[in-house]
Structure 1
Amino acid sequence: MNAPLLQVDGISKSFRGLKAVSRASLEVPRGGIVSLIGPNGAGKTTCFNMIAGVFKPDEGSVTLEGRRIDGLRPDQICHAGVGRTFQLVKPFKELSALDNVIVGALRTEPDARKAAKAAEAILDQLGMLDKRDQPAAQLTLPERKRLEVARALATKPTILLLDEVMAGLRPTETDQMVAVFRELNQKHGLTILLIEHVMRAVMALSQQVVVLHHGEVIARGEPEAVVRDPAVLECYLGEEAAV
Structure 2
Amino acid sequence: MSGARLELDRLGKRFRGLRAVHEVSFAVPAGAIHALIGPNGAGKTTIFNMIAGVLAPDAGAVRLDSRTISGLRPDHVCDAGVGRTFQLVKPFKGLSVLENVTVGALHRHRELAGARDAAARLLDRLGLHDRRHQLAESLTLPDRKRLEVARALATEPKLLLLDEVMAGLRPTEVDVMVAFLRELNARTGLTILLIEHVMRAVMALAAEVVVVSSGEKIAEGTPQEITRHRAVLDVYLGEPEAS
TM-score (norm 1): 0.97
Rounded Cα–Cα distance in structure 1 between residues aligned with 2:228 and 2:28: 22
Quote the residue 2:38 is aligned against: 38
Quote the residue 2:59 is aligned against: 59
Quote the residue 2:175 is aligned against: 175
Q: Percent identity?
A: 63
Rounded Cα–Cα distance in structure 1 between residues aligned with 2:45 and 2:26: 14
Quote the residue 1:138 is aligned against: 138
Contact kept, 8 Å, 1:208 with 1:221, in 2: the verdict is yes
**Superposition RMSD on alpha carbons, in Å?**
1.4
TM-score (norm 2): 0.97
Quote the residue 1:219 is aligned against: 219
Quote the residue 1:78 is aligned against: 78
The offset of 1:94, in angstroms, is 1.1
**Equivalent pairs, count:** 241
Rounded Cα–Cα distance in structure 2 between residues aligned with 1:73 and 1:114: 26
AA aligned opposite 2:40: N
Quote the residue 1:164 is aligned against: 164
Q: Structure 1 residue runs of 4+, over 6 Å off? A: none
Quote the residue 1:184 is aligned against: 184
Moved more, 230-239 or 7-16: 230-239
Gaps of 5+ in 1: none
The offset of 1:239, in angstroms, is 8.2
The offset of 1:138, in angstroms, is 0.7
**Secondary structure of the structure 1 residue equivalent to 2:157:** coil
**Secondary structure of the structure 2 residue equivalent to 1:118:** helix
Quote the residue 1:115 is aligned against: 115
The offset of 1:144, in angstroms, is 0.5
The offset of 1:30, in angstroms, is 0.2
Quote the residue 1:11 is aligned against: 11
Q: CA deviation digits over 1:147-170, x for unaligned, max 9? A: 000000000000000000000000
The offset of 1:2, in angstroms, is 7.6
Quote the residue 1:193 is aligned against: 193
Rounded Cα–Cα distance in structure 1 between residues aligned with 2:56 and 2:155: 22
Rounded Cα–Cα distance in structure 1 between residues aligned with 2:75 and 2:227: 36
